[in-house]
Structure 1
Amino acid sequence: MERLFQSVRITINDKLYVKDPESSNLGKRIVEESIFMINDFGFESFTFKKLGQKIGSNESSIYRYFENKHKLLLYLASWYWGWLEYQLVFATNSIPEANSKLERAIEIVTQATEIDLAFTHINEVLLNKIVINEYSKSYLTKEVDQENKDGYFVIYKRLVNRMSLMINEVNPDYPYSSSLASTIIEGALHQYFLMDHFSSLTSCNKKITPTEYFKHLTFNTLNIKKNG
């Protein structure tokens, strides 16, 4: 089983990079250190020049992998959504009952992130924080429609679609499955952001997790008892 995990590779749209960072040690270091630096300094203060100094390489070598830091952020977000999709599929594949499958899926996409030892150059905990704090900057741009056509968000959309299909399995008559699915996935990010920065605006805290909230919201919305 451990060998199976180690063989998993998250496939990213090749338009997001000039050279696949997974193809070399330098590329993996670029990804690894960029996660630490964006988490520490924020996306606005992060530059390829600073990254080059950190990894002891010329700034130009980073441009051989990524056209700009916007593409790097899109790459990191795509990797995160791909990793979450992999977690979701693996955790729910053997669950035959629709309610239990959806409940497990909600847990996967809303729970606190833990380190995955299958990907040693990616700190998933810090990457999750980056997605919480910075992901909206990857699509709140004038170019979003063209980037969507180019498939930059296909992994995220695929994850939402998987959730939507699970919601339909629980209640085929519910007409808003895609809206509910995207609300669960995006809403989880927002609830964690509120917990960290605007705690008075959320009921979630150390005792009440976003997972509990979204289970309650989803199954009450669908008029289904959990595990019923």
Structure 2
Amino acid sequence: MINLLSNLKIQVPDKIYIKDPESSDLGKRIIEHSILLIEEIGFDSFTFKKLGAKIGSNESSIYRYFESKHKLLLYLTSWYWAWIEYQLVFATHNMPNKEEQLFKAIEVVTMAIKEDVTFSHINEVVLNKIVVNEYSKSYLTKEVDTENKEGYFVVYKNLVKRLSDFISSVDESYEFPSSLASTIVEGSLHQHYLKSHFSSITDCDQKTTPTDFFINLTKKVLNL
């Protein structure tokens, strides 16, 4: 897998950034250390000034890549969802059984994340924690409709659409495939958050995973 995907580039909508961070060593360091710093201090406390101090670069150099920390969060979360989608495609492409394909897709979008050595400057495990804890801040804004029209969330929507198509391939008569797909993707983040912070209001624990819950839910909803 490493050899096959060694030249893979995760595609993020280009309107999110000013200069592609994948195009330079500094850009990659911005991404690498922004992930680590956001996880350490939280997105609300994160600033480009603090990031610049971490990477030994001027704050102004970061603004050459992103016009705001909001755009940086959009980049990180879009990269994450694109990475999840490529994991999903890779895991399901040779599975002829439609039900098995759907369950594998659910597993990919809900599972606990392991680091992917294909992308040495991005720690996917830490990035997943940021997505679980901070993703809603990327779209719970006054500008969400404008940003949606500009295509900022296209990667996330593509992932949900792909999962929705898997659901429909199993049961064409089911009326709510997109609602179920978005519930699985978004609900997985919530269940992982509850598991870590509010364990008394979720049944997910060390033995029962969000994957177990959402596969069980899908089986019952689709009568499988």
- In structure 2, what is the Cα distance between the partners aligned to 1:221 and 1:151? 31
Q: Secondary structure at the match of 1:6?
A: coil
What is the CA distance between 1:2 and its match in structure 2? 2.5
In structure 2, the partner of 1:121 is 121
Are 1:35 and 2:39 counterparts?
no
- In structure 2, what is the Cα distance between the partners aligned to 1:35 and 1:2? 23
Q: Secondary structure at the match of 2:140?
A: coil
Deviates more, 1:144-153 or 1:6-15: 6-15
- In structure 2, what is the Cα distance between the partners aligned to 1:207 and 1:12? 35
In structure 2, what residue type is equivalent to 1:21? P
What is the CA distance between 1:156 and its match in structure 2? 0.4
Q: Deviations over 1:105-163 (max 9, x none)?
A: 01101110000000000000000000000000000000000000000000000000000
TM-score by length of 2: 0.99
What is the CA distance between 1:4 and its match in structure 2? 1.7
Equivalent positions of 1:137-156 (< 5 A) are 137-156=137-156
- In structure 2, what is the Cα distance between the partners aligned to 1:174 and 1:126? 36
In structure 2, the partner of 1:181 is 181
- In structure 1, what is the Cα distance between the partners aligned to 2:51 and 2:169? 46
CA RMSD of superposed structures (Å): 0.6
In structure 1, the partner of 2:170 is 170
- In structure 1, what is the Cα distance between the partners aligned to 2:23 and 2:8? 15
In structure 2, the partner of 1:47 is 47
In structure 2, the partner of 1:7 is 7
Equivalent positions of 1:43-82 (< 5 A) are 43-82=43-82
In structure 1, what residue type is equivalent to 2:168? N
In structure 2, what residue type is equivalent to 1:157? K
- In structure 1, what is the Cα distance between the partners aligned to 2:43 and 2:220? 38
Q: Deviations over 1:44-96 (max 9, x none)?
A: 00000000000000000000000000000000000000000000000000001
Are 1:23 and 2:23 counterparts?
yes
- In structure 2, what is the Cα distance between the partners aligned to 1:89 and 1:2? 15
Q: Secondary structure at the match of 2:5?
A: helix
In structure 2, the partner of 1:206 is 206
In structure 2, what residue type is equivalent to 1:106? I
- In structure 2, what is the Cα distance between the partners aligned to 1:114 and 1:5? 16
Q: Structure 2 stretches of 5 or more lacking a match?
A: none
- In structure 1, what is the Cα distance between the partners aligned to 2:200 and 2:89? 35
The alignment of Structure 1 onto Structure 2 pairs a total of residues equal to 224
What is the CA distance between 1:6 and its match in structure 2? 1.1
In structure 2, what residue type is equivalent to 1:188? S
- In structure 2, what is the Cα distance between the partners aligned to 1:117 and 1:127? 14
- In structure 2, what is the Cα distance between the partners aligned to 1:17 and 1:81? 16
- In structure 2, what is the Cα distance between the partners aligned to 1:2 and 1:136? 32
Deviates more, 1:132-141 or 1:2-11: 2-11
In structure 2, the partner of 1:105 is 105
- In structure 2, what is the Cα distance between the partners aligned to 1:50 and 1:100? 46
- In structure 1, what is the Cα distance between the partners aligned to 2:200 and 2:90? 36
Are 1:217 and 2:185 counterparts?
no
Structure 1 residue ranges, 4+ long, deviating more than 3 angstroms after superposition: none
Percent of aligned pairs sharing the same letter: 64
Q: Deviations over 1:8-48 (max 9, x none)?
A: 11011111111000000000000000000000100000000
Q: Secondary structure at the match of 1:10?
A: coil
